[in-house]
Amino acid sequence: MIPIAICSLDSGNTGLSPIPHDLKGYGADQAAPENSGAEVLTNRRNALSNNSSLADVLNEDVMPEPPRPNIIIILADNMGYMDPGCYGGGAVLGAPTPRMDQMAAEGLKLTSFYSETQCTPTRAAIMTGRLPIRTGMSLASAAGSLAGMSPQETTLAEVLSDAGYRTAMFGKWHLGDVEESMPQNMGFDQWFGILYHLNTYSLKDRIGYDPKWAEGLNENYGLVQAKKGEGLEMVMPLNTSSLGIVDEQCMDRAIAYIQDQANSTEPFFIYLPLARTHFPSVPNDKFAGKSSRGPYGDGVMETDYHVGMVLDALRDIGKDNNTIVVFTSDNGPTLDQWPDAGYSPFRGGIGTVYEGGVRVPCIFRWPGEIEPGRVSNEIMSTLDLFNTFAVLGGGEIPSDRPIDGIDQSDFLLGYNDSSNREWVVWYTGTDSSPTTLPAAMRWHQFKVVRKGYDSFQGPESDYSQIPAVYNIEMDPGEEHNIAGEHDFAVEAFQKVYRGLVASMKEYPNTPSRAYPIVGGAE
């Protein structure tokens, strides 16, 4: 067996090195890992290889070819696993979410869906299907950092655009603010929204802040828009008091865009990474006080309303049945910001590898194709959105680089009760050496944690001597470290690690591009 990460790779290819550096130190000319004798654990594969479209390989006698769907990704920001009603929250937490609940009733609710630990890494994972350590997008990027995702990456927008999709984005990018890394240069025909996390725009209102401290730093952008290949256009600057309208502005344009597709024969891909429910939750006038949970809950209800706007618009243009919509969150709740924070029944939140940080709500809806009311605890990752949507859209997945996502289309469509994934690993921090140790791994019902935080603001719990092991079915709160008698989980972690090291030695990682002060941006 060879690790999935290097399956179907042409051995003559080199890795991606968007910021020039010498590949040879741990490059492709080293011994191929499959010759090292190391036993490696693979994530399961299905009949669809990374390079095939669903239509190519479906056995038409058994699996009817589904239509090539319109694709909409709605990504909430820092929403907790338990915030939506269908995940135990909603009215229980003072903020009902009838439209998310409707999505779950009409589609597939996943209860072991995993994001990365932070905004930027999750967004990079969705766009590329690659572990953030490979793309250098392992930390939330700061305004004016003069860095961003490498143009050598191939984004989902590019894959679908090449396959004939119209592509548009409305919302928060957070994959860099240099020109080459902006959405209009990353495969989107058009986009409208913001480049950073919301709190970037409230900086000047912090208690004790002196505006002169901003001198010499790059000014951030407000609400902006651009068309493919064109320059960025400022629509309006943003400050704390105007943050309440960001999603409303994005949704107005998103719904108009959907309406414009009514008579189109080309499929469309819409990426809707909403600004809610990231702190600071500055209420929108239309939602202020709607919940009994305060501004955060008002934001949950606004988000739910926006989910409903998408569903209603699809119905109105008659494209309900040929559109797949996914709703998820980029990471867990911002516990350090309580009460401006979501909730999870698990340990930890954003920035941590504990379940609270990475286990997020995820609902897929595709009437007629995905069974209504289905619930699954199978493991899936945000990385998989890249492969799955590329395959469903008939796009071509790059074959010249390791892709960590897995096509889950047969699982989503019900041809398979099991997902094609047995483990997820998380890397945190800015190390990009191929021997960097992952911070944690979910493997079957176990969690192996080498480096954890109980909140984003730490402190770090280091388990470098013996990784902690939790049985997250028996101990979903990750309170009881059972490494002593569960060393087999540590062995599994080591096997996965060996496969990843080999892959990263052959295809070097891009040094961190989020914070140039830490990584290798020159």
By CB under 8 A, which span of 133-141, 231-239, 247-255, 289-297 interacts with its own copies? 289-297
Instruction: Tell whether residue 418 is a contact of its own copies (CB under 8 A).
Output: no
Residue 416 interacting with its own copies (CB under 8 A): no
Q: Is 393 helix (H, G, I), strand (E, B) or coil?
A: coil
Q: How far apart are CA 108 and CA 111, in angstroms?
A: 10
* N residues, the chain: 522
Given candidates 87, 201, 257, 507, which one binds its own copies under the rule CB under 8 A? Answer: 87
241 binds its own copies (CB under 8 A): no
| Catalytic, out of 7, 86, 119, 362 | 119
Is residue 119 annotated as part of the catalytic site, yes or no?
yes
Nearest distance in Å: CB 492, its own copies? 16
Q: Which of residues 178-237 bind its own copies (CB under 8 A)?
A: none
Query: Does 25 sit near its own copies (CB under 8 A)?
Result: no
The tokens describing 204, both together, are 């000047």
Name 225's bridge partners: 192, 233
Query: Which window, 50-58, 114-122, 292-300, 490-498, contacts its own copies (CB under 8 A)?
Result: 292-300
What Å distances lie between residue 218 and 144, 145, 177, 232, CA to CA? 5, 8, 11, 16
Return the SS3 of 273.
strand
Q: For residue 203, what are its two tokens? A: 């900086």
What's the gap between Cα 137 and its chain centre? Answer: 12
Distance in Å, CB of 84 to its own copies, minimum: 11
Collapsed DSSP state (helix, strand, coil) of residue 377: strand
Alpha-carbon distance of 334 to 456, in angstroms, equals 7
434 φ, ψ to 5°? -65, -20
Stretch binding its own copies (CB under 8 A), from 306-314, 338-346, 361-369, 427-435: 338-346
Distances from the Cα of 294 to the Cα of 219, 246, 287, 358, angstroms? 31, 19, 10, 24
Nearer to its own copies, 356 or 402 (CB): 356
* Binding-site member from 31, 55, 91, 262 for its own copies (CB under 8 A): 91
Neighbours of 235 (CB within 10 A): 15
Strands (E), 55-149: 70-76, 108-114
Identified binder of its own copies from the candidate list 293, 401, 421, 442, rule CB under 8 A: 293
| Comparison of 292 and 435: residue with beta carbon closer to its own copies | 292
What track of x and - describes contact with its own copies for positions 110 through 139 (by CB under 8 A)?
-xx---------------------------
> Which is nearest to 386 in space by CA: 397, 378, 377?
397
In the complex, least distance from residue 52 CB atom to its own copies, rounded to whole angstroms? 31
Q: Which of 7, 21, 86, 174 is catalytic?
A: 174
Residue 233, both tokens: 């256009």
What tokens appear for 144 in the block?
A: 């004016």
> Do residues 405 and 381 touch, judged by C-beta distance below 8 A?
yes
Residue 324 β-bridge partners: 71
Among 94, 280, 308, 516, binds its own copies (CB under 8 A): 94
Given the structure tokens 């972690």, which residue do they identify? 493
Answer whether 303's CB lies under 8 Å from 79's CB. Answer: yes
Q: How far is CA 159 from the centre of its chain?
A: 17
Smallest separation (angstroms) from its own copies to the CB of 431: 33
Q: How far is the CB of 213 from its own copies (least distance, A)?
A: 31
Q: How far is the CB of 506 from its own copies (least distance, A)?
A: 36
Taking CB under 8 A as the binding criterion, the range among 22-30, 185-193, 340-348, 498-506 that sits at the site for its own copies is: 340-348
Over the window 438 to 457, marking each residue x when it contacts its own copies by CB under 8 A and - when it does not, the resulting string is -------x------------
Residues 375, 435, 458, 460: which binds its own copies (CB under 8 A)? 375
Q: Which of 426, 451, 455, 476 is nearest to 117 (CA)?
A: 426
d(C-alpha 426, C-alpha 406), whole Å? 16
Single out the residue of 27, 294, 308, 516 in contact with its own copies (rule: CB under 8 A).
294
Minimum gap (Å) between residue 320 Cβ and its own copies? 22
377 near its own copies (CB under 8 A): yes
Q: How far is CA 502 from CA 28, 317, 319, in A?
A: 10, 49, 45
Q: Which is nearer to its own copies, 69 or 85 (CB)?
A: 85
Q: By CB under 8 A, is residue 292 in contact with its own copies?
A: yes
Residues 456-515 that bind its own copies (CB under 8 A): 471, 473-477, 479-480
Q: Where are the alpha helices (DSSP H) in 400-485?
A: 409-412
Number of residues forming the site for its own copies (CB under 8 A): 32
Residue 336 as a binder of its own copies (CB under 8 A): the answer is no
Name the residue nearer to its own copies (CB basis): 83 or 369: 83
117-15-442 Cα angle (round to 5): 30
Helices (H), 451-514: 487-506
Q: How far apart are CA 17 and CA 511, in angstroms?
A: 9
Decide whether 264 or 377 has the Cβ nearer to its own copies.
377
Q: Which is nearer to its own copies, 80 or 132 (CB)?
A: 80
Does 280 contact its own copies by CB under 8 A? no
Taking the least distance from each CB to its own copies, the nearer of 429 and 477 is 477
Candidates 81-89, 222-230, 427-435, 510-518 — which segment interacts with its own copies by CB under 8 A?
81-89
**Beta strands 468-471 and 446-449: pairing type?**
antiparallel
Give the Cα separation of 234 and 223 in Å (integer). Answer: 6
The residue ranges that bind its own copies (CB under 8 A) are 82, 85, 87-88, 91-95, 111-112, 292-294, 296-297, 338-339, 343-345, 375, 377, 445, 471, 473-477, 479-480
Report, as residue numbers or ranges, the catalytic residues: 119, 174
